[in-house]
Amino acid sequence: MAPMQMLPELGQVALALALLVALLQAALPLAGAQRGKASWMAVARPAAFAQALLVLCAFVVLTVAFVMQDFSVRYVAENSNSLLPVIYRYTAVWGSHEGSLLLWALILAAWTAVVAEFSRKLPDEVVARVLGIMGLVSVGFLSFLIFTSNPFVRLLPAAIEGRDLNPLLQDPGMIIHPPMLYLGYVGFVVPFAFAVAALIDGRMDARWLRWTRPWTNIAWGFLTLGIALGSWWAYYELGWGGWWFWDPVENASFMPWLVGAALLHSQAVTEKRGSFRGWTVLLAIAAFSLSLLGTFLVRSGVLTSVHAFAADPARGLFILIFLSIVIGGSLLLYALRAPRFEQGAPFAASSRETLLLANNLLLVSACGMVLLGTLYPLLADALDLGKISVGPPYFGFLFVLLMTPLVLLLPFGPLTRWQREQPSKPLAMLAPWAILALVLGVVAFFVAPQGPWKTAAGVAGSAWILLGTGRFAWTRLRGSGRFTPEMIGMTLAHTGIAVFLAGALLVEAQNVQSELAMKPGQTVELAGYAFRFEGVEETQGPNYISDLGRVQLLRDGKPLALLHPEKRAYASGGQVMTEAGIHAGLFGDVYVALGEPLGAADDPDRAAGDWAVRLHIKPFVRWIWLGAALMALGAFVTAVDRRFRAKPAATDTTRRHA
């Protein structure tokens, strides 16, 4: 056999070696830190680098198998096809269960290597424990890969043709969505490892906590981008014009996001004021546990969802055991050790600490609400209460209920001092802006062509956050003039919330849609736009046949854009995918999706006749993703604050920051 053909076996060997190295990386440093053996602890860093290199090898091998179309590898044969365009051969690597798990392991290993590289200033015991715990997580994922989900299994005899990548995933948005999401999920392993290390140690040093903060920020930023990309993809690919569906898998990624947002704020309190120590540790455990739970829910087939991967009880059981060890173990450690943490500085009822506590409780309640709604159908099934599905009305109502106080309190946070504040001061600073926001809301109520309440709420809420955040920035600039990256990041992220809020509520309120049958050449008017349907042509894509529609969009008689809504029938499997034709604009999208041809089913010229067409006008829909991008940007900007990387001073544990 030529050496190239041996590659998959090499990948398997690399994975097995990575598992051994991860075992070493977990066992020796953890034991060494406990016994104070420097030579054992010193294993952590080189082991982390070696593990990353080995997993990277395995990943490259799988990628090569896809690019070279090696259909003797079962995973490749099941998720690729000779017609698949080259770019999708690279991304098909994580198109299904085994490969996406390998991507998880790769990102985890890479993240570990980065922590190993940048942690040289930290005490040896801390580094050894943190890398050891990350090694334990790697052991779990690598053995899951090797024992239940091996991507390198051969197919004998080799398949002549592959089955093709799921057409839903043959899309640019899907190329980067999973890696972003995983960067977020996996990123929460760093605060988790630090939290567990602090629990083992029995105390939490503000210096180490300061060091972990950028990691949390970066993880949360990537998770935000990943979720936003998923939402954007659903918007243009599923053809319904919706951007969030409260689907179990969306919920699975949203739960760690909510807890991660709480963690960002709680870490700031603990780092600056020393309060909330136990709570911060608990949130760090929860954020990572929910990331694991998310992985579990998607992989195990426990819940039915559009994203479901093939269900295999052996896999489900494996992750369940892993999940219970990680979560159960860390919570047990928490119950035993957290009471030992010293308390931080006391604070008054009116203080920034109280406001951040409220922020945390609201975000965590929202997460609990999502968790309950996601698992409730399973619970009802287990207790024989009948089949119940929990839909958008439950989530929408409770989420708005919990987020309203958060929006109302948000501008007060940055303007309220730590420890003690006279409530009248921030109130006086914000009162004029609150009135202005209210006035804008009232104006919006009367100006809105439809959905006045939602419009008013969106405008007022968004203006309130925007103005309140602006008030904070102005105070800082006028006052000391010191505006750290941490503050810039916060301002950006809070602005992102304002932008998101405006987008979400305005598109809900002002969305105009119409489903109708259109003849070629016919023109329809909707909300000031004219749509001229120019018919549908059959065209040939690389691995699909497409009904490509042409719709000329006009405004005031002038042509604005030519839209191409599409229906693609993929060659293998015959799955039909919708591609909406979208004229995107900052203040609204015009969205056209193609339905079915309406001629008789046996008419050969059916495609040339009438078509069902769905038209949407979606004002401000881009603001949803723009807001998410701003939140992510804010998280990244905060992470570069030099303060987090400053050489830790010796007596730094109770340093105060205004």
Partner 1 sequence: MNAPAGRRGPGLAVIIGALCFLGFLALLFYGVNQSGRGDREALPSPLIGKPAPEFALPLLHEPGRLVTSQELLDAPYLLNVWGSWCPECRVEHPVMTRFALTKRVRVLGYNLKDEPEDALRWLEQFGNPYMLVLTDRDGRAAIDWGIYGAPETFLVDAKGIVRWKHVGALDDTIIDGELLPLLEQLEAGK
Residues within the interface to partner 1 (CB under 8 A): 239, 247, 276-279, 282, 286, 296, 300-306, 308, 311-313, 316-317, 320, 323-324, 327-328, 331, 335-336, 338-339, 341, 343, 357, 360-361, 364, 368, 375, 378-379, 381-382, 386-387, 389, 391, 515, 573-576, 578, 593, 595-596, 612, 614
Minimum CB separation of residue 240 from partner 1 in Å reads: 8
Minimum CB separation of residue 376 from partner 1 in Å reads: 10
Tokens for 363, please give them: 């975000």
Instruction: Give the nearer residue to partner 1 in terms of CB position, either 241 or 634.
Output: 241
Q: What is the DSSP letter of 411?
A: T
Instruction: Give the nearer residue to partner 1 in terms of CB position, either 77 or 281.
Output: 281
Q: Is 589 helix (H, G, I), strand (E, B) or coil?
A: strand
Instruction: Give the nearer residue to partner 1 in terms of CB position, either 191 or 221.
Output: 191
Instruction: Give the nearer residue to partner 1 in terms of CB position, either 236 or 279.
Output: 279
Instruction: Give the nearer residue to partner 1 in terms of CB position, either 140 or 411.
Output: 140
Q: Scanning the structure block, which residue is given the tokens 């290993």?
A: 109
Minimum CB separation of residue 86 from partner 1 in Å reads: 27
Cβ–Cβ < 8 Å for 139, 23: yes
Tokens for 594, please give them: 């193609």
The number of beta carbons lying within 10 Å of the beta carbon of residue 345 is: 13
Instruction: Give the nearer residue to partner 1 in terms of CB position, either 139 or 292.
Output: 292
Distance of alpha carbon 571 from alpha carbon 127, whole angstroms: 52
Closest CA to 620 of 422, 462, 403: 462
Phi, psi of 624 (to 5 degrees): -60, -50
Distance of alpha carbon 355 from alpha carbon 347, whole angstroms: 11
Distance of alpha carbon 81 from alpha carbon 100, whole angstroms: 18
Burial-class residue 323 by CB neighbours within 10 Å (0-12, 13-18, 19+). Answer: middle
Q: Is 462 helix (H, G, I), strand (E, B) or coil?
A: helix
Instruction: Give the nearer residue to partner 1 in terms of CB position, either 379 or 477.
Output: 379
Omega before 151 cis (within 30°)? Answer: no
Instruction: Give the nearer residue to partner 1 in terms of CB position, either 153 or 311.
Output: 311
Torsion angle (degrees, nearest 10) of CA 225, 227, 231, 232: 20
Distance of alpha carbon 516 from alpha carbon 525, whole angstroms: 12
Instruction: Give the nearer residue to partner 1 in terms of CB position, either 397 or 453.
Output: 397
Residue length, the chain?
658
Cβ–Cβ < 8 Å for 505, 458: yes
Q: Scanning the structure block, which residue is given the tokens 């998607």?
A: 298
Instruction: Give the nearer residue to partner 1 in terms of CB position, either 53 or 308.
Output: 308
Instruction: Give the nearer residue to partner 1 in terms of CB position, either 94 or 296.
Output: 296
Q: Residue 524 forms beta bridges with which residues? A: 531
Q: What DSSP string runs through 551-581?
A: EEEEETTEEEEEE--EEEEETTT--EEEE-E
Instruction: Give the nearer residue to partner 1 in terms of CB position, either 334 or 445.
Output: 334
Residue 456: CA count within 13 A, CB half-sphere: 12
- Our CA angle for 216, 220, 222, nearest 5°, is 120
Cβ–Cβ < 8 Å for 567, 537: no
Minimum CB separation of residue 215 from partner 1 in Å reads: 22
Minimum CB separation of residue 170 from partner 1 in Å reads: 16
Crossing angle between the packed helical segments 392-409 and 352-382, to the nearest 10 degrees: 170
Rg of the chain over Cα atoms, rounded to whole angstroms, equals: 27
Distance of alpha carbon 502 from alpha carbon 168, whole angstroms: 30
Minimum CB separation of residue 346 from partner 1 in Å reads: 12
Instruction: Give the nearer residue to partner 1 in terms of CB position, either 72 or 575.
Output: 575
Element (H, E) at 389: none
Minimum CB separation of residue 161 from partner 1 in Å reads: 18
Minimum CB separation of residue 374 from partner 1 in Å reads: 11
Minimum CB separation of residue 191 from partner 1 in Å reads: 16
Q: How far is CA 18 from CA 106, 301, 556, 625, in A?
A: 10, 28, 64, 38
Minimum CB separation of residue 150 from partner 1 in Å reads: 19
Minimum CB separation of residue 335 from partner 1 in Å reads: 5
Closest CA to 403 of 442, 353, 458, 456: 458
Residue 632: CA count within 13 A, CB half-sphere: 21
Minimum CB separation of residue 389 from partner 1 in Å reads: 8
Minimum CB separation of residue 210 from partner 1 in Å reads: 20
Instruction: Give the nearer residue to partner 1 in terms of CB position, either 370 or 632.
Output: 370
Tokens for 111, please give them: 């993240």
Minimum CB separation of residue 303 from partner 1 in Å reads: 7
